[in-house]
Amino acid sequence: PKLVYDFAEGNKDMKDLLGGKGANLAEMTNLGLPVPPGFIISAEACKVFLTTGAMPAELADEIDHHVAALEQKMGKKLGQADDPLLVSVRSGAKFSMPGMMETVLNVGLNDDSVNGLAHQSGNPRFAWDAYRRLIQMFGKTVLDMPGDVFEDAIEAAKDAKNTTNDLDLDADDLRKLVDMFKTAVRDHTGRDFPQDPREQMDLAIAAVFGSWNSERAVLYRRQERIPADLGTAVNICSMVFGNLGMDSGTGVAFTRDPSSGQPGVYGDYLQNAQGEDVVAGIRNTVPLADLEQIDKKSYDDLMAIMAKLEGHYRDLCDIEFTVERGKLWMLQTRVGKRTAGAAFRIATSLVDEGMISIDEALQRVTGAQLAQLMFPRFDADAEKHLLTKAIGASPGAACGKVVFTSAAAVEAAKRGEKVVLVRRETNPDDLHGMIAAQGILTSRGGKTSHAAVVARGMGKTCVCGAEELRVDISAKTIQVNGTSVSEGDVISIDGTTGEVFLGEVPVVPSPVVQYFEGTLDPASGDDLVASVHRLISHADGVRRLEVRTNADTGDDSARARRFGAQGIGLCRTEHMFLGERREAIERLILAEEDAERHAALAELEPLQREDFCEILKAMDGQPVTIRLIDPPLHEFLPSMEELAVKVALAEERGEDPGRDATLLAAVRRLHEQNPMLGLRGVRLGLVIPGLFAMQVRAIASAAARLKKQGLDPRPEIMIPLVGAVQELELARDEVAKVLREVSEAEGVDVHSPIGTMIELPRAALTAGQIAESAEFFSFGTNDLTQTTWGFSRDDVEGAFFSCYLEKGIFAVSPFESIDTDGVGALVKIGAERGRETRPDLKLGVCGEHGGDPDSIHFFHQVGLDYVSCSPFRVPVARLEAGRAAL
Ligand code: ADP
Ligand code: MG
Ligand code: MG
């Protein structure tokens, strides 16, 4: 198979093979944009290299062929002493992994050609700067040398000249640096810096391939759920130079503001620099708008190209460009990352601009983004101590103790403390700390700095470029406008406004939540709320899945309904037995005779009836699936240890432990080794006479009362943890009998559907039989995950899940996102077999997965009727159910 592609041979849809960067360089080339010529080594070659440790046999020949063609096109050769062809060797995987992998610029320079370049460009400073960059980048990325070796030498050279500006180093200084760098290479690696350009290129290619498995790349992929086996392509791109003088420069640009989504000119520009200087925040950039003054022609060209790219990709693009002596070159573009708010605003703006359809707009936003928009904001009316205001790079409201290193952030997070990571600038090694922190604050760099880009990708709050902060990492203090902040002090950062406050600022609900609550009109002028309103309304129009909620109080039910829930998919009844009602439950458990048991049940029934009344009223006209009692009874009794101590103490004092002794005996009797697999669910109903009947009577009489008031209560009665149809038949008979009795006694028909949970593998496999007796199924995917995998959630998440995630056994916890191959297969089987028996069987899912975007798409595919999730996830589920239907 072909392993190397000229830029002109690819296009934007070839990301699997050419990586995102390569595919888009190819696309821009074919659009006729000014892209320096080059070629792409495909990710297939990388996969071979990663699995076998060697380059594919044909690769060298193919590269030779493309190098020759490139030399022909450029009219100069690699290593040509008087006018060398220089190239960059750039990584570029299918999914962008900002700063995670390596790039080497100026490949092709050596001790001879550096003089040729100096002569040819008429600019010796530039030539020596290019050479020192090559050795520096090559040393770090290809030869694995520590970056400090080079950075310290540059600092020393600047100190010697009493300057802090790289530009004050002249040709002579840079030539001396090159000598030092070459010596450092020899000292560190035992060999000379390779002088053969083709060897430089081959080593750089291997290093880029190898960087796929660098620690930080592995961590980033896990965080972003990017598959581990894709590999990266390598782009060989002829060099253009932004460091030829003040008429040259380099920059990054966005076609719209990636943090707000507003149209306008956004980006950063740096004169007389090569690309990596911008991102590294080594020197402070100027806003892109200033380029208009600096170089009007390049600015106009760039604006025209940006308009063309946005029209072509029909989305926000981000761009890397370089100006070489007044000529604009495009070095990269891609559909840009953006904040959640920007995603919604851009999607609807593009609809208004006639660029995309509303269906496409819905596909461009995600439930995860909507969830982010529902986070609270800082209270505008609270008293605050403003420390400084900088660039809001990634929105959110974060409070925490100040830490200055990633290690400290990770340590604090382990102790359960909230921290804000404060750095001068971040680099890829800070990834652990950024993940652990609530937010990130940097004193340097703009919206395109490493901190900003990575934070936006993670949905983390970030304020950057806070130049007023004097961050002293070794003293662990910040001086800012007369205030001193030390490690451990609490600060609050607002990633939208860029404000930094001392102390903890209180938060208020987001406007998007106010809109869902019905207290903010979508036409009130808040354009983000208007976008959310449009897209979620469209999702409601196209989705097939209904969205219900898990709620067991009237308040939660009412809120979920305001958030758009179409009923309750899971109303748990066990909390109704807690608090003061515990005693009645204790009496029920301790009852030795029917009379005592009846008395205890009779006490509970009216309490339950009032609970159900409240919920059924809040959900009037909508289905309310009520699950009969599920947990093992000992959960309602005091702990065995506490009781044992109490009884022992009483006995020691010669007192009669009385009821405590009886309770202790009951707790011992009910004690189970594996309560999750013990006496619970339908088993309780069958073993403890009258328990289910009492609950059903409470439900039915609540419904009867509401019906008499002219309301429309719609309870559905759900039997948990059924494994065999016989269990369900027995329970069902009892339930049906009570419903008949109440109907007769009250004189109103309170018949309600009776169904079951499918949460045991046996239930899924025998769903055909179970459906004989069930009018609906609700897949309890929490328990189904536990019973299918054979692990108990509460026990394993801390114990070994992180190890499993690290080893790649799961990409994400199966409790968070449904394991489609295993647990999902059981859901599918259950749905199919159930519907064979009973074509109109209503199918739903309750459990955490009901609010998880990926799982929702799966449930849509297997034909369920609804998902049920916690009230706050309801809007997320509505949006994702709409997206799943497109
Ligand atoms: P990353 O993915 O980390 O951005 P890139 O491969 O895009 O890495 O390159 C790093 C920097 O070098 C970027 O600023 C890019 O624009 C610049 N660069 C890459 N190739 C060239 C080239 N051929 N000429 C000039 N600058 C380049
Ligand atoms: Mg780049
Ligand atoms: Mg369960």
In a 13 Å sphere around the CA of 281, the CA atoms on its Cβ side amount to 22
**Residue 281 in this model has a pLDDT that exceeds 70:** no
pLDDT digit string, tens, across residues 86-121: 999 999 999 888 777 788 999 999 999 999 999 999
The residues with which 38 forms a beta bridge, in sequence order, are 237
Please, where in the chain does CATH 3.50.30.10 lie? 375-508
The model scores a pTM over 0.90: no
Among 596, 779, 822, which Cα is nearest to 690's?
A: 596
pLDDT digit string, tens, across residues 797-837: 667 777 787 777 887 789 889 999 999 999 999 999 999 99
Q: What is the pLDDT of residue 881?
A: 98
pLDDT digit string, tens, across residues 678-718: 999 999 999 988 999 999 999 999 999 999 999 999 999 99
The answer, yes or no, to whether ipTM is higher than 0.90 is: yes
Tell whether ligand 1 has an atom less than 6 A from the beta carbon of residue 277.
Answer: no
Q: For 223-227, 279-283, 353-357, which range has the lowest pLDDT when averaged over its residues?
A: 279-283
**Residue 510 in this model has a pLDDT that exceeds 80:** yes
3-state SS class at 496: coil
**Residue 783 in this model has a pLDDT that exceeds 90:** yes
Most confident of 171-185, 278-292, 462-476, 787-801: 171-185
Ligand 3 centroid vs 472 CA: distance in angstroms?
A: 53
592 against 867, higher pLDDT:
867
3-class DSSP string for 219-249: HHHHHHCCCCCCCEEEEEEECCCCCCCCCCE
Q: Using the atom order of ligand 1, give the atom closest to the CA of residue 279.
A: 14
470-472 sheet: strands from edge to edge: 470-472, 477-480, 483-486
Tell whether ligand 1 has an atom less than 6 A from the beta carbon of residue 105.
Answer: yes
Six token digits for residue 556: 């939660």
**Residue 529 in this model has a pLDDT that exceeds 80:** yes
Residue positions counted in the chain: 886
636 against 158, higher pLDDT:
158
Residue 579 has what DSSP assignment? G
| For range 630-659, the mean pLDDT | 87
Six token digits for residue 762: 């046996």
Tell whether ligand 1 has an atom less than 6 A from the beta carbon of residue 492.
Answer: no
The answer to whether 846 is a known catalytic residue is yes
Mark out the alpha helices in 329-470 (DSSP H runs): 340-352, 358-363, 367-373, 406-414, 431-436, 450-458
Tell whether ligand 1 has an atom less than 6 A from the beta carbon of residue 239.
Answer: yes
Ligand 3 centroid vs 629 CA: distance in angstroms?
A: 10
According to DSSP, the β-strands at 419-423 and 397-403 are: parallel
Mean pLDDT, the chain, whole residue set: 92
| Exposure string for 722-741, b = 16+ CB within 10 A, e = fewer | bbebebbebbbebbeebbee
Handedness of CA 555, 560, 566, 570 (dihedral sign): negative
pLDDT digit string, tens, across residues 285-339: 899 999 999 999 999 999 999 999 999 999 999 999 999 999 999 999 999 989 8
What is the number of other CB atoms lying within 10 angstroms of the CB of residue 623? 21
Architecture (CATH level 2) of domain 543-632+672-884: Alpha-Beta Barrel (3.20)
pLDDT-derived band at 588, boundaries 50, 70, 90:
confident
The answer to whether 751 is a known catalytic residue is no
Q: Which fold has domain 249-335?
A: D-amino Acid Aminotransferase; Chain A, domain 1 (3.30.470)
Q: What is the pLDDT of residue 236?
A: 98
Q: Which amino acid is at 303?
A: M
pLDDT digit string, tens, across residues 203-246: 999 999 999 998 888 878 877 778 888 999 999 999 999 989 99
Instruction: Compute the distance between CA of residue 543 and CA of residue 734 in angstroms, rounded to an integer.
Output: 37
- Atom 22, ligand 1: residue with shortest CA distance: 239
Contact assessment for residue 540 and residue 564, using Cβ atoms and an 8 Å cutoff: yes
Architecture (CATH level 2) of domain 375-508: 3-Layer(bba) Sandwich (3.50)
Q: What is the pLDDT of residue 181?
A: 97
Q: What is the pLDDT of residue 452?
A: 83
Tell whether ligand 1 has an atom less than 6 A from the beta carbon of residue 854.
Answer: no
Please, where in the chain does CATH 3.20.20.60 lie? 543-632+672-884
Angle, vertex CA 678, rays to CA 675 and CA 680, nearest 5: 95
pLDDT-derived band at 279, boundaries 50, 70, 90:
low
| For range 47-75, the mean pLDDT | 95
Q: What is the pLDDT of residue 563?
A: 96
Q: What is the pLDDT of residue 798?
A: 62
Please, where in the chain does CATH 3.30.1490.20 lie? 4-238
3-state SS class at 849: helix
- Atom 6, ligand 1: residue with shortest CA distance: 90
**Residue 525 in this model has a pLDDT that exceeds 80:** yes
Six token digits for residue 519: 């207290």
In a 13 Å sphere around the CA of 461, the CA atoms on its Cβ side amount to 29
pLDDT digit string, tens, across residues 120-145: 999 999 999 999 999 999 999 999 99
Ligand 2 centroid vs 92 CA: distance in angstroms?
A: 8
The CATH code that applies to domain 4-238 is: 3.30.1490.20
Contact assessment for residue 157 and residue 200, using Cβ atoms and an 8 Å cutoff: no
**Residue 356 in this model has a pLDDT that exceeds 90:** yes
According to DSSP, the β-strands at 461-464 and 470-472 are: unpaired
7 against 671, higher pLDDT:
7
Q: For 16-20, 498-502, 511-515, 649-653, which range has the lowest pLDDT when averaged over its residues?
A: 649-653
Q: What is the pLDDT of residue 369?
A: 93
pLDDT digit string, tens, across residues 436-487: 999 999 998 877 678 887 787 677 899 998 989 998 888 999 999 889 999 9
What is the number of other CB atoms lying within 10 angstroms of the CB of residue 709? 11
- Atom 19, ligand 1: residue with shortest CA distance: 88
